[in-house]
Amino acid sequence: MYLLKNSVIMLIVIVLSGMLARPAFSLIEPPNPSNKNRLMVQDVIIVDVKTGKLKPNQSVVIQGNQITAIRLTLMFLTMPM
C-alpha cells in the first residue's frame, strides 16, 4: 500500500511538472515558410565603424542577402520581427 501511494504521488508530480513546463514551449515560433531564408545571430558584438565603439549583446537578423534588423538581444523577446 505504501509503495502504491508513493507511486501515485510521483506520477502526479511528474504530470504537474510537465503541465507547468508546457507554457515555455509556446514561446517557440512555429515554422513559417516566409522565414526559411531568415537567419538570426544572437549575442554578437557589433562594431560601429564610424565611431569605433563596440555594442555588445546584439542580435542580427539576416534575410536573403540583407541585414534586416540589429537590436539588443533582449528586445527580440518582446518585439515581433
Strands 38-47 and 54-63, bridge-based pairing: antiparallel
User: What cell was used for 1?
Assistant: 500500500
pTM above 0.95, yes or no: no
pLDDT of residue 42: 87
Model pLDDT, residue 26: 47
What local confidence, expressed as pLDDT, does residue 37 receive? 81
Residue numbers of the domain that contains 70: 2-77
Sheet holding 38-47, edge to edge: 38-47, 54-63, 66-72
Total domain count for the chain?
1
- CB atoms under 10 Å from CB of 66, counted, come to 7
10-residue mean pLDDT profile of the chain (81 residues): values are 60 58 51 71 88 89 88 68 52
Secondary structure class of 23 (helix, strand, coil) = helix
| Closest alpha carbon to 69 in 47, 41, 49, 48 | 41
